Amino acid sequence: MPDITMPILYWPLLLLGAYLLGSVPFAQVMARLHGVDLRDVGTGNVGAGNLTREVGLAWGALAALLDGLKGLFPVWIALKAGLGPGASGMAGVAAVMGHNWSIWLRGRSGRGLATAAGVLMALDPVMLVWTAGWSLAGWKIGSGLGGFLGWGLLPIVSVAMGRPPAESLVLALLSIILMSRRAQGNPGAEPGRIPALKRVIYDNDNVIDDFPETVEEPLTP
């Protein structure tokens, strides 16, 4: 019989590897190839959205794809190694944390949505339908608010759909990480609980009132 304890022994190394992979700022690397520092232009967000606005759609799409793979591969590897949805999902969470707080950028970087989507693609593709639906709805109600509803309510949807408790807990942690990064905003964002709450809901450092129609450029992904 195979030794089922072996995957668990290597799990800490998998988490570390997932974090280091997630921390690779593909969008920033591509921007620097064009002489642009994403932290100093546009929304200041180190992600595919800001890259698209500053460099071009093709480069932004490539960055989004690579960011998604950062979340997909660690989870896929963990599942193939025989780990359950909880342990495998934590590898994806580590990748998202690496993306959001990259050691190469010495602090906050992207928002982690593309990487989180990759995690869902490997862990439970059906759950990705929920978040993708709200992303599309964001064209009408404001993409920041759509992202809040899609990712913020994800663990509740998971429980309602009868997913394993370990998976629901992972999705709850993933949601907390994504919302925490939104609450941070970019360097120089207005401090205080109310501005942070508005950033959580609208994902914008410059929300001027409580209605999504007034949100200027959202900072995702």
Q: Contact 120/45 with Cβ under 8 angstroms?
A: no
Check: CB of residue 14 under 8 Å from CB of residue 78.
yes
Q: What percent of the chain has pLDDT over 90?
A: 48
Q: State how far the Cα of 7 lies from the Cα of 104, in Å rounded to an integer.
A: 28
Across 30-44, 51-65, 121-135, 179-193, which has the greatest mean pLDDT?
Answer: 51-65
* The two three-digit tokens of residue 164, written as one number: 């394993």
Identity (one letter) of the amino acid at 49?
G
pLDDT at 13 over 70: yes
Q: What is the mean pLDDT of the chain?
A: 82
Cα separation values, 138 from 70, 82, 150, 214, Å: 24, 37, 10, 13
How far is residue 201's CA from residue 185's CA, in Å, rounded to a whole number? 12
For residue 76, what pLDDT band results from cuts at 50, 70 and 90? very high
The rounded distance, in Å, linking the Cα atoms of 97 and 202 is 21
Looking at residues 14-25, what average pLDDT do you find? 95
AA letter at 39? R
User: 150: closest CA among 185, 122, 182?
Assistant: 182
For 170-211, the pLDDT digits (tens) are 999 999 998 888 777 766 666 667 766 677 666 666 544 443
Q: If you search the block for the tokens 């999705």, which residue do you land on?
A: 171
Tokens of 23: 């921390």
**pLDDT band at residue 143 under the 50/70/90 scheme:** low
Give the residue extent of every domain in the chain: 6-214
**Most distant pair of Cα atoms in the chain: their distance:** 62
